[in-house]
Structure 1
Amino acid sequence: MTSAALDTLITWVRTESPTHDAAGVNLMMDLVVAQMADAPVAVERIPGEQGLGDALVLRAGPQRDEPAILVMSHLDTVHPLGTIERDLPLKVDGDRLYGPGIYDMKGGAYFALEAFKDVARRGSAARPVVFIVTPDEEIGSPMTRPVIEDVGRRSAYALVTEPARDGGRIVTSRKGVGRFDVHVEGRPAHAGSRHKDGRNAIYEAARQILAVEALTDYGRGITTTVGMVSGGTAVNTVPQHCRFPVDLRVETVADGEAMTKALLGLKPSHPDFRVTVTGGMNRPPYERSEGTSRLFDHARALAAEIGFDLVTCDKVGGGSDGNFTAALGIPTLDGLGIDGDGAHTLQEYGLISSIAPRQKLMTRLLETLR
């Protein structure tokens, strides 16, 4: 990686872009537009909705009416503004570049866009190429999912620049992700003088949480997690309301349907309580198809020519925009981004040495996927 390219990537990391900071995300989109300015790339900028930043749809390659190669990257991060100044300062330590979002996934987005631009300049793409840059992947892509699925239906392949896993392994399958919100309503009362008249919503929520967590089945790859709880108004008041979200992960469509039915069907333990559940599957399972297996074999052969061994990993628990394209039956290769570790933590880093070979792989994929 050249020093100029590294300086540019450092600028990307310094430009903090948490999902709900539309201004920061749009600064990142501005950098991408500038990056494409001197290349034969058609740029479509989709204005943000729901308080989110803009999205970009970039098009290049032969102007033929045939299914495209779809590349997907996101430029939103999970780290709040100020993380780079306080908790995760940008630094280079040997081969490691530390900073918020470098691994997930600005490093992968940057080099994939460079590969896309180079192929566009040389006119060497095997097919039309569409590159979607999204502002909302970290919250489930509520704004861009329709765009991804629309372009995906007209694509032959999908390549996703989420970070590599476990020492550089590629991703060929992911669990599906569900998101649910549970609202428990009881009856308020004074905790001292009228305690027996109250119906404690937090107490009932605790019962419901036990039922939710009991749905976890490691043998089937099903996990249910309650990671946040909110309720009550004062320490001396029997609480009327309690709310908690549920994270669901499943390996198959059938299990997603079954778990959705179970969660939406939660019942109160006593008629004096009311339990309301909303939500559903946020990302469908990304199951490895024959087409994806052939795509991986092709990528592995290209990597061998470049000089490194491309290895796949077991089914990944986290979702990505690749879940959407895989569910449409499109051969999808994920984890094509930078190698490193610490996604969503304050020890996040990317390996600088992984960038050049992975950029070459992306270039060769765009040039050979026929």
Structure 2
Amino acid sequence: MLDDLGELVSCESYSADHAAVARSAEAVAEQGRRLLGARPRTLVTGGVTHLLWSFGTPRVLLLGHHDTVWPMGTLRTRPFSVRDGIARGPGIFDMKAGLVQMFHALAGLPSLDGVCVLVNGDEEVGSDTSRALIEDTARACRAALVLEAAAPGGALKTGRKGVSHYGLTVHGRAAHSGLEPEKGINAATELAHHLLALQSITDAVTTRTGPGTTITPTVMSAGTTTNTVPARAELSIDVRVPTPAAQAAVDDLVRALAPHHPGARLRVDGGPNRPPLDAEASRRLFALAVEVADRAGLGPLQQAAVGGASDGNYTAGVGCPTLDGLGAVGDGAHADHEHVVTAAMPPRAQLLAHLVGALL
């Protein structure tokens, strides 16, 4: 398993580099061919490479991704390594170890009839080119098992917040900041009013739908030179919501933002991306996982609800029962301390094999 893990981690797959993602897809496809005995269908949509294995009539979907957030060249400073039971490398926890565990779990089953495996190449950037494929595949299955990394302590993920992304653009009017600033409309100052308004939106949504919604300003820019009143300002907004009602309420309130200065103009782009993964979508699958883990001596299992989203949000959103976090045990997704606990890899693969077997 460690050899296979090193092979995948050492093939960089930065989401924005489609050629790198294609190379990674070939490495994943070859590993799957060796362990599952079949090559996948290779599907390229919008330049992004996805892989699909299907054995018989699909009943159980195993879902993962092979792209990572790490720019090309990261391996030079953070190469794959294993030391004192800890494996490190870009994308190892999120989520190449999960792919390795999945392949080894399926390789141990007596039959793969009814199994469908989908590994997409753009999860880290919202799965824009693979969402339809994920949802269509999930609609045909009775259960979706997501190989994203586990929550702290190895807990399975039985709830995820939904995600919305917005871009707010303010159009003002430029003027010389020393000679005639009064003739300008300062887009940066206008944007500041809306930054403060986002907290009011959070409070309003909480009052309407309950706690758990977060609205976070992330990337912001304004102006062109130090002696010019900014004519344009831009803000990216990350929204996490616990319920569809909260997601709809945020959308209504963000789109209702109006200019503070009568001469300014606002434009709102974006909207809901992933629906919430409600705990009810995972309840029966988690109970089954607890049962098979106890029988196999792999328990006890814990569960957790998390703020991050995954493609499991999409499968649950189309009504397919979904259990997430079945992948690696470790820590540091998207961070320099990203790592995997190697001793946990075989039992996690065993758990997945028992669970797939029970579902089939």
| TM-score, length of structure 2 as denominator length | 0.94
Q: Which residue of 2 aligns with 1:348?
A: 338
Residue 299 of structure 1 aligns to a residue whose secondary structure is: helix
- Alpha-carbon deviation of 1:306? 3.0
Mapped contact 2:159–2:306 kept (Cα < 8 A): yes
The whole-number CA distance in structure 2 between the counterparts of 1:8 and 1:40 is 16
Q: Is 2:315 the partner of 1:325?
A: yes
Taking the TM superposition and a 5 Å limit, the aligned residue runs for 1:354-365 are: 354-365=344-355
Question: Which piece of structure 1 moves more, 210-219 or 299-308?
Answer: 210-219
Q: Which residue type is aligned with residue 23 of structure 1?
A: A
The whole-number CA distance in structure 2 between the counterparts of 1:236 and 1:117 is 65
Q: Which residue of 2 aligns with 1:296?
A: 286
Q: Pick one of 54, 60, 70 that aligns with 1:59.
A: 54
Q: Is 2:358 the partner of 1:368?
A: yes
Cα distance change, pair 330–170 in 1 and its aligned pair in 2 (3 A): same
Q: Which residue of 2 aligns with 1:211?
A: 197
- Alpha-carbon deviation of 1:40? 4.1
- Alpha-carbon deviation of 1:31? 1.2
Residue 196 of structure 2 aligns to a residue whose secondary structure is: helix
- Alpha-carbon deviation of 1:332? 0.4
Mapped contact 1:41–1:117 kept (Cα < 8 A): no
- Alpha-carbon deviation of 1:282? 0.3
Q: Pick one of 242, 247, 257 that aligns with 1:256.
A: 247
Taking the TM superposition and a 5 Å limit, the aligned residue runs for 1:1-370 are: 5-38=1-34, 39-41=36-38, 43-49=40-46, 52-60=47-55, 63-64=56-57, 68-86=59-77, 88-119=78-109, 122-123=110-111, 125=112, 128-217=114-203, 220-289=211-280, 292-370=282-360
Mapped contact 2:298–2:351 kept (Cα < 8 A): no
Q: Give deviations 1:174-210, integer Å, cap 9, x for gaps.
A: 0000011100010000111111101110111111111
The whole-number CA distance in structure 1 between the counterparts of 2:357 and 2:138 is 19
- Alpha-carbon deviation of 1:312? 3.5
The whole-number CA distance in structure 2 between the counterparts of 1:69 and 1:358 is 18
The whole-number CA distance in structure 2 between the counterparts of 1:355 and 1:40 is 22
Cα distance change, pair 314–136 in 1 and its aligned pair in 2 (3 A): same
Q: Give deviations 1:287-325, integer Å, cap 9, x for gaps.
A: 011x52111111112222333324343321000000011
The whole-number CA distance in structure 2 between the counterparts of 1:311 and 1:114 is 21
Cα distance change, pair 213–15 in 1 and its aligned pair in 2 (3 A): farther
Q: Give deviations 1:60-95, integer Å, cap 9, x for gaps.
A: 2xx34xx51011010111111122222x34322211
Residue 48 of structure 2 aligns to a residue whose secondary structure is: coil
- Alpha-carbon deviation of 1:15? 1.3
Over aligned residues, Cα RMSD in angstroms? 1.6
In structure 1, runs of 5+ residues without a counterpart are none
Cα distance change, pair 214–82 in 1 and its aligned pair in 2 (3 A): farther
- Alpha-carbon deviation of 1:42? 5.5
Mapped contact 1:189–1:195 kept (Cα < 8 A): yes
Residue 7 of structure 1 aligns to a residue whose secondary structure is: helix
Give % identity. 38
- Alpha-carbon deviation of 1:54? 0.4
In structure 2, runs of 5+ residues without a counterpart are none
- Alpha-carbon deviation of 1:271? 1.2
The whole-number CA distance in structure 2 between the counterparts of 1:146 and 1:273 is 38
Cα distance change, pair 241–173 in 1 and its aligned pair in 2 (3 A): same
Mapped contact 2:10–2:75 kept (Cα < 8 A): yes
* Count of residue pairs brought into register by the alignment: 354
